[in-house]
Chain A
Amino acid sequence: MGLIWDGLTEALRLIFTGDSYVYEITLLSLTVSGAATGIALVIGLSVASFLAFSAPPGRTLALSAFNAGMALPPVAVGLLVAVMLWRTGPLGQLHILYTPTAIIIAQAVIATPVVTALSAAGLQSLPPGLRLQVLALGASRWQAALLLFREARLSLLAAGIAGFGAAISEVGATIMVGGNIKGSTRTLTSAIVLEVQQGDFETAMALSFILLAVIFAVVLAFTVIQQRRSAS
């Protein structure tokens, strides 16, 4: 209990004294995971719309794959992305291994199946004739997509929250492709692992509280939007 309490007070001290190291890694975590979630949303919503509305052959198989993808082991993803980005790998020319960009790619790979599977479920649960009704109202394909996203906003925001959660809480892939380099690729999660390895449990606990607070703040913002829209 003492460790948890010490961690909490240390977290508050770090936040309120404006510790530059903590602010830096928190900002990087938010930027990287925000970008990864954004990519996951663009890909996930496109694929989910296609699967839900165009009913292509093999839809069940594809949805099963994305559902399974929600349980994708981050370490395996990290290894795969790292191999691709190695200097001798197929994407080695890009020279982005051990950069925030590499972390964004790895986290996007982890978050995309989550966003896709949950979005597809949300879009499929819309009334069956709604898409035709929206087109009959005179919507172009883009307008129809936006209107239907709006109708499924509760599920889609939930998909976004889950995707962001998967990205920001991820550590295995982040370390593998980012390298946990101080001032460059160190995020909240990789910093926690490092502090634990160094035996500084109090700082690790403090960073954990900060991570939880960051996740809670972002999810709270999403949820407020979600609930306000649904109430109106």
Chain B
Amino acid sequence: MTEAILGLRDVVVERAGRQILEVDSLDVYPRDVLAVVGPNGAGKSTLLRVMALLERPAQGQVLFDGQPVRHHLLAYRRRMAVVFQEPLLLDTTVEANVRSGLSLRGVARPERDRRVRLWLERFGIAGLAGRSVRTLSGGEAQRTSLARALVLEPQVLLLDEPFAALDAPTRQELIDDLDRLLPELEMATVFVTHDRAEALRLGDRLAVLLGGRIRQIGAPGAIFAAPADEEVAAFVGTETIARGRIRSVDSGLVTVDVAGRDVEAAGAGEPGADVLVCLRPEDIVLVPPDEAAKMTSARNRLPAVVRRVVPAGAHVRVELDAGFAIVALITKQSLEDLNLAPGSRAVVSFKAVAVHLIPHRPASPPS
């Protein structure tokens, strides 16, 4: 059993007499990536500042290595690193920025230079080392900011919406980089974001923060499949997200074992890799069981039982059990034509290209 490196207990933060954050218990573990998702104003940044020992809560404790942090905040802060949404670089060169945290810690020069070089290269910014940060693009600046944090090889890495201000291609590149680098490192990571896709991509565990409280915490698949309450459901959406393992890959077609069913997806992957199978409700077609054989275009046809039928504006949301939970969005006309009701059978059909696979390292909550 792994010990939590950083934890919060009964933490309350108040602003102008109003309670803006209340966390009973939250732990992060070495090699664990905890993604905290929530809308703007949910208290995500406040949570991160409390964890980073940059803000004292009105009540409660921050635990480091299981011990309450009361004094010597600087020593604890120096075991962590924080990346904010704005890169907030010092007005000097890229290299001096990446070096800054090590200099503040008095790390000896040979070691400092070695680590700075290593992390400049890992983030692909070695060529910018001597450049003034004033000349950097948004993506280059955030790479510098990430390198400046990771060069410290912290025990806890805290990321506060680090990609929010970037354009989509740059964001994707940086997420790819982090996804590659984080598993190589021993540290615990807390990644705060309002973007569900980012959270799913990087998080081993997901915590949903709404109105200053953690409403649900657990494996991403579990939260998306079974939101704890309506608000969490509303925030995470009701898209189908199921965990699976790639069984085989053959000329651009990936076969994924999801709860004993084969789901075929267009894409790439390694056999044996764990993935999240994502489906948008509008990509799913429901057909009566006796007509399913005629359907030839869609690769996936899964027999299912209707669990619920929920009106959703002009459409109807149909929740089915195909061995795993699937949500389909169909028109009211289709509902009538198919004569669907809870308990009735239907075949869930979707194209291989409609399936989105997200690489997923299995969550390993150590407790």
* A and B are interacting partners: yes
Residues of A within 8 A of B78 (CB): 138
Residues of B within 8 A of A134 (CB): 90
A-B contact count (CB 8 A): 47
Query: A137 CA to B104 CA in the complex, in Å?
Result: 8
B-side contacts of A143, CB under 8 Å? 104
A56 interface contact, C-beta 8 A: no
Give min CB distance, A231 to chain B, whole Å.
9
The minimal Cβ–Cβ distance linking A55 to chain B, given in whole angstroms, is 13
Enumerate chain A residues within 8 angstroms of B148, measured Cβ to Cβ: 137
What interface size band does chain B fall in?
Answer: 20 to 34
The verdict on A133 contacting chain B, using a C-beta distance below 8 Å, is yes
Contact residues of A between 120 and 145, Cβ < 8 Å to B: 127, 129-130, 132-140, 143
- Contacts A135-B77, A138-B74, A140-B74; is A129 near B104 (CB within 8 Å)? no
Taking CB atoms, residues of chain B closer than 8 Å to A138 are 74, 77-78, 101, 104-105, 152
Q: Which residues does chain A contribute within 8 Å of B101, judged by CB atoms?
A: 137-138
The reply to whether the CB of B100 lies closer than 8 angstroms to some CB of chain A is yes
Are A133 and B105 closer than 8 Å at their CB atoms? no
CB contacts (< 8 Å) of A151 on chain B: these are: 90-91
A127 touching B86 in the complex, CB below 8 Å, given contacts A136-B52, A139-B104: yes
Please, which residues of chain A bring their CB within 8 A of the CB of B92?
232
* Complex Cα gap A54–B100 (Å): 24
Which residues of chain B (68-102) have a CB below 8 Å from chain A?
A: 74, 77-78, 80-82, 84, 86, 88, 90-92, 100-101
- Which one, A129, A139, A232, contacts B84 given CB within 8 A? A129
A136 to B85: give the CA distance in the assembly, Å.
14
Nearest CB in chain B: distance from A100 CB, A: 38
Closest to B102 in A: A138
Please tell me if the beta carbons of B88 and A133 are within 8 angstroms of each other in the complex: yes
Known: A133-B88, A143-B104, A147-B100. 20 other contacts (CB 8 A): A127-B86, A129-B86, A129-B88, A132-B49, A132-B54, A133-B82, A136-B52, A136-B84, A136-B158, A137-B81, A137-B100, A137-B101, A137-B104, A137-B148, A138-B105, A138-B152, A139-B104, A147-B90, A151-B91, A232-B132
| Cβ contacts A to B, 12 pairs, < 8 Å | A127-B88, A130-B88, A132-B49, A136-B54, A136-B77, A137-B148, A138-B77, A138-B104, A138-B105, A140-B74, A147-B90, A151-B90
